[in-house]
Structure 1
Amino acid sequence: MVTWVLILSAAIGAVCGIWLHVVVFTILSVVVAAGYLLTAIISGLSLASTALWIVMLSAALCAGYIASHVLRYVIHTRAYKAKRQHSELEAGSKYLHDQQQP
């Protein structure tokens, strides 16, 4: 159960990484953590257990957020390199004798 909760939290962080600015994501994470803390205290869970869960869930959210940014960076740089290499091939040679027709 714990594994699925952390995987779901990381997936939510990855989706948030696509659309949300880092400040908005941080505020949202703090609000969710405060809500979880309040709910856990009302439910009678221990403060240490609650703090551990908040740290684990926040770390999973942040890991998903960072992973989505890394993935976007990798995709963007590969596309840029492919575009750059393609344009260099179309540019032709810089030497005059290579450009002349026989």
Structure 2
Amino acid sequence: MAIWVLILSAAIGAVCGIWLHVVVFTILSVFVAIVYLLTAVLSGLSLASTFIWIMMLSTALGAGYIASHFVCYVAHSRAHKAKHRHSELESGTKYLHDQQHP
């Protein structure tokens, strides 16, 4: 069960990474941690267990956020590289004697 919670938290972080600015994401993460802390304390869970879960959930959220930015970076880099390679092929050769026709 705990693995699914962490996977879901990472997925939520990945979706937030696409749509939210890092400052908004940080504020949202802190707000979620505070609400979880209050809910856990009011339901009678121990503080040590609650802090461990807050750290794990925050780490999963952050990992998802970073992973989505990494995927976007890789996609952007590959598109830029393909565009650069395509423009080199269209420009032809650099040497003047290769550009002249017989």
TM-score w.r.t. the length of structure 1 is: 0.98
Structure 2 unmatched runs, 5+: none
In structure 1, stretches of 5+ residues that fail to align are none
Tell me whether 1:54 sits opposite 2:60 in the alignment: no
Q: How far off its partner does 1:93 sit?
A: 1.1
| Matched residue count | 102
One-letter code of the match for 2:74?
Answer: V
2:82 corresponds to which residue? 82
| Corresponding letter in the other structure for 1:84 | H
Give the match for residue 36 of structure 1: 36
The Cα shift of 1:4 comes to 0.2
Letter in 2 for 1:62: G
How many Å separate the matches in 2 of 1:76 and 1:52?
A: 36
User: 1:65 matched to which residue of 2?
Assistant: 65
Note if 1:16 corresponds to 2:9. Answer: no
Deviation by residue 1:28-71 (Cα, 9 ceiling, x = unmatched): 00000000000001000000000000000000000000000000
Give the whole-Å Cα distance in 1 for the aligned partners of 2:56 and 2:88: 48
TM-score (norm 2): 0.98
CA deviations 1:58-94 (Å, max 9, x no partner) are 0000000000000000000010001001100110112
Runs of 4 or more consecutive aligned structure 1 residues displaced over 6 Å after TM superposition: none
Q: Return the alpha-carbon distance in structure 2 between the equivalents of residues 60 and 14 of structure 1.
A: 10
**Between the two proteins, what is the percent identity of the paired residues?**
77
